């Protein structure tokens, strides 16, 4: 296990680095949009992410991580 100190901008970058295939956690849907069709992609709304506390950002990241690892 590695321990690091992250500030709010670090946490935003961490969350912003999460990408999904088709299964998107409900919590993440509040802070981004899915564009389907010819090119499927997930886009985070960085303005919404900046309004979150550090604890909320970590919660979003943890929820996303659970989905990605399944």
The yes-or-no verdict on residue 3 having pLDDT over 70 is yes
Domain range summary for the chain, segments of one domain joined by +: 8-69
- Which pair of structure tokens corresponds to residue 49? 């992410």
pLDDT tens by residue, 13-69: 999 998 877 778 888 999 999 888 888 888 999 999 999 999 999 999 999 988 877
- Cβ atoms 3, 49 nearer than 8 A: no
State the greatest distance between any 2 C-alpha atoms of the chain, in Å, as a whole number.
40
pTM higher than 0.85: no
Please enumerate in sequence order all residues whose Cβ is within 8 A of that of 65, keeping only pairs 6 or more positions apart, or say none: 18
- Per the CB < 8 A criterion, the answer to whether 13 and 4 are in contact is no
Predicted local distance difference test score (pLDDT) of residue 14: 93
**7 pLDDT exceeds 90?**
yes
For residue 35, the cross-strand partners are: 41
């Amino acid at each position: 296990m590695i321990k690091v100190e992250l500030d709010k901008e670090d946490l935003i970058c961490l969350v912003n680095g999460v990408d999904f295939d088709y299964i998107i956690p409900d919590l993440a849907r509040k802070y981004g949009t899915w564009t389907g069709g010819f090119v499927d992609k997930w886009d985070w709304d960085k303005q919404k992410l900046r309004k979150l506390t550090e604890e909320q950002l970590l919660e979003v990241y943890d929820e996303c991580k659970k989905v990605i690892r399944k």
